[in-house]
Amino acid sequence: MRRSTTFAGTKRAVLGSLLLAELVLAGAVLVRVPHASPPSPPAAAPASLTTSTAAATTETLRDGRTVRLLNLAGPPEAPLLTRIAAEMNDAADAVTLFWGGDWPRSIVIVATGSDAEFATLAGAGPDVAATTTAERITFAPGAAEMSDASLRIVVRHELFHYAARARTAADAPTWLTEGVADFVGRPATPRPPPDAADLAVLPTDADLGSVGPQRSLAYDRAWWFSRFVADQYGVAALRGLYLRACAPGHPDAAAAVRETLGADLPAVVSRWRQWLTR
């Protein structure tokens, strides 16, 4: 099953003046000592999330959606879930503002207690803050180390993936799925300095799946493209591009851009470069 991931890194360097301090997304690696496994038995298969071994609470958001918060680690991860719960109303509003209200009414969020448990349930390593599937959003223990601003971005980013999952194909272009999730999750910032033309290159899956600064820059490039489309064509056009380029049965990205934005992809990228550097 396809998973979307958010890479953790509250300690990563800011890329010039492009980002606010402590932005967590875009490929940064969380530098920390791996969490030791808890004294309880090793993590069970995902089906065990519904058993009594997982402490769970359910909250109702102001839009009527319910959030089931499952704590697999006990007291150590309780503060993380409390912080996540505090972000959920505004995160749901941000997702609905962009995506519309047609997305799941029930949300499941899981906090794991060790890197090994996170790997078992989420299929990701300790440099990843969270993953999302159609069933749930799973947070790594390292997410507890994030600042409030960074965690807010991760919650909104992953909640968008959760909302869009049913209308996102497994082979959707990653630069668009991640760029739009960042558009929903990150706060707006001023445009980069005039010498940032090198940002106007759509990242490849290899770029987005790399490590270190290359991955960070790849996520930034995807985000800036989404910012550009929203600014120049409108937020509705960005949503339309996502639906055309990412939904099951989608055409290739170039055709989707041409159909939704009315121009060939090279022309749109050229306009993006001008937008970044003016």
Q: Is the dihedral of CA 256, 260, 265, 269 positive or negative?
A: negative
Domains of the chain, each with CATH number or no CATH: 4-277 (1.10.390)
Share of the chain above pLDDT 70, in %: 81
Q: Give per-residue pLDDT as tens, 193-236.
A: 877 778 899 999 999 988 888 888 999 999 999 999 999 999 99
H or E element: which one contains 7?
Answer: strand 4-7
The pLDDT value recorded for residue 94 is 98
Contacts of 19 (CB under 8 A, 6+ apart): 189, 220
Q: Give per-residue pLDDT as tens, 139-165.
A: 999 999 999 999 999 999 999 999 999
107: left (phi over 0), alpha (psi -120 to 50) or beta: beta
